[in-house]
Amino acid sequence: MVVGNWQYEAVSIGFPGPVLRNHPVAEPRNLGGGWVGFNFRSAFGCPVKVVNDAAMQALGSYRKGKMLFLGLGTGLGSALVVDGIVEPMELGHLPYKKGTYESYVGNNALLKQGKKKWRRHVADVVARLTAALEPDEVVLGGGNVKELKELPPKCRAGDNLNAFLGGFRLWEEVNESRSMAPTAASLTSNTPKSGKKSKYRSSSRSKNWARTVGKPARGRGGSPGDR
């Protein structure tokens, strides 16, 4: 087991697919099977929170207001964060042209179309989703964000490492509203060990409320949220 000698009191897992009430509801398209019905708490021997991987990275990238997260990776991950509450979304599977958004801006599209055409599709998809959802800002994350020559309007680049901060934020206790920029310092200052309270939580759809369970001092993040 990878975490054989690690010491931890809670585990956060970013799962590349839909999650309901802390459990994956479908096997991932790009990973092996066995996720649905698996008892994570029993396997790790501690409290576990499972959320959509894009939602975890979105939570770690969040600063304030209404933020749309789009993960440019194997597919197209998506999540919306409003006043600290994250809502996982499956926008990548919505119809677009002769396929879906994901089939035009996912990694296969980048390899088949080339960077120039792929970048045009990314710009168009971001513009359409921004117009529909009206976020204050858009965070473009995932491993392929580095392939963009320039960012679309109202966008900033995310980082897969923000998924680890999102994993910590899942365990923070809900408190009054506040803003936070996900800096390197906050990776340690905002862990449950610090005792600080936060507004961050996930929506009722995934039932992963950000309240402290057993006051975990050391959490372990899961997937970096790159589909």
- Which tens digits make up the pLDDT trace of 84-117? 999 999 999 999 999 999 999 999 999 999 999 9
Contacts of 186 (CB under 8 A, 6+ apart): 165, 180
Show the CA angle centred on residue 83, arms to residues 80 and 87, nearest 5°: 30
Q: Determine contact, residues 216/171, Cβ cutoff 8 Å.
A: yes
Q: How far apart are CA 138 and CA 201, in angstroms?
A: 19
- Tell whether the model's pLDDT for residue 212 goes beyond 60: no
Cβ neighbours around 214 below 10 Å, total: 11
- The pLDDT of residue 3 is 66
* pTM for the predicted model, two decimal places: 0.76
Mapped onto helix, strand or coil, the DSSP state of residue 33 is coil
Which of the two residues, 209 and 158, has the higher pLDDT score?
A: 158
Which of 33-37, 138-142, 222-226 has the lowest average pLDDT? 222-226
The stretch 207-221 carries a mean pLDDT of 38
The stretch 135-163 carries a mean pLDDT of 95
| Percent of the chain with pLDDT strictly greater than 90 | 69
- Tell whether the model's pLDDT for residue 68 goes beyond 50: yes
Q: How far is CA 61 from the centre of its chain?
A: 8
Integer-rounded Cα Rg, in Å, for the chain is: 17
Which of the two residues, 20 and 177, has the higher pLDDT score?
A: 20
Average pLDDT in the chain: 81
- The pLDDT of residue 6 is 84
Strands 48-52 and 10-15: parallel
